[in-house]
Amino acid sequence: MASDGDRDGQEALRLQNVVERERAKLRALQDISAALGSTLDLGELLDMILDRISEVMEADRSTLYLLDEETDELWSKVVQADEVHEIRLKPGEGLAGAVASTGKPLNIKDAYQDVRFDAEWDRRTGYRTRSTLCVPMKNQHGRTIGVVQVLNKHEGYFTVADEQLLTALASHAAVSIENSKLFLSVVGKNIELLETKEQLEKKIRELDVLFEITQVAASAMELDDLLAGVLARTMRATDAEAASILLADEDTGDLTFRAAVGGEPDRVKRMTIKAGQGISGWVAEHGRPQIVNEVDKDPRHSSHISDEVGYHPKSVLCVPLRWDEGTGALQLLNKSGGRAPFIDDDLKMATVIAGHLSTAIAQAQSRAEQAREERLATLGRFLSSMLHDLKTPLTVISGYTQMLVPEQDEDARRETAASIRRQVQLLKTMMGETLAFAKGERRILIRRVYLHTFFEDLAEQLKPELAERGIRLELALHDRGTAHFDEEKMQRVFHNLARNAAEAIGEDGGACRLEVDRTDGGALMLTFSDDGPGVSDEIRGRLFESFTTHGKKGGTGLGLAIVQSIVEDHGGTISVESMPGRTAFTILLPQPQPKKRTRPEAAE
272-273 sheet: strands from edge to edge? 272-273, 255-261, 240-248, 326-335, 316-323, 290-292
Buried b / exposed e along 272-287 (16+ C-beta atoms within 10 A): ebeebbbbbbbbbbee
Question: Using an 8 Å Cβ cutoff, are 574 and 583 in contact?
Answer: no
Residue 78, SS3 per DSSP: strand
**What integer pLDDT is reported at residue 432 of this predicted model?**
66
Task: Give dist(CA 92, CA 85) in Å, integer.
Answer: 21
Residue spans of the domains in the chain: they are 4-186, 220-370, 442-589
Question: CB neighbours (10 Å) of residue 13?
Answer: 10
Q: Which CATH class is domain 220-370?
A: alpha beta
Tens of pLDDT, residue by residue over 345-357, are: 888 888 888 888 8
SS3 content of the chain, % helix, strand, coil (to 5): 50, 20, 25
Interval 409-434 mean pLDDT: 72
Domains 4-186 and 220-370 are alike in CATH topology? yes
**pLDDT mean across residues, the chain:** 78
State pTM to two decimals: 0.41
- The CATH superfamily assigned to 4-186 is GAF domain (3.30.450.40)
Q: Which of 61-75, 181-195, 548-562, 568-582 has maximum average pLDDT?
A: 568-582
Q: For the sheet with 144-153, list strands across it.
A: 83-89, 73-80, 59-68, 144-153, 132-138, 106-108
pLDDT tens, residue by residue, 184-202: 666 667 777 777 777 777 7
- Rounded to whole angstroms, how far apart are CA atoms 530 and 584? 7
CB 351 within 8 A of CB 322: no
Cα Rg of the chain (Å, integer): 47
Which CATH architecture is the domain 442-589 placed in?
A: 2-Layer Sandwich (3.30)
> Which pLDDT value is given to residue 244?
87
Closest C-alpha to 67, from 115, 99, 111: 99
Per-residue pLDDT, 530: 93
Cβ–Cβ < 8 Å for 454, 486: no
334 CB neighbour count, 10 Å cutoff: 25
Beta-carbon contacts of residue 371 (< 8 Å; ≥ 6 apart): 440
Cα separation, 479 vs 591, in Å, equals 14
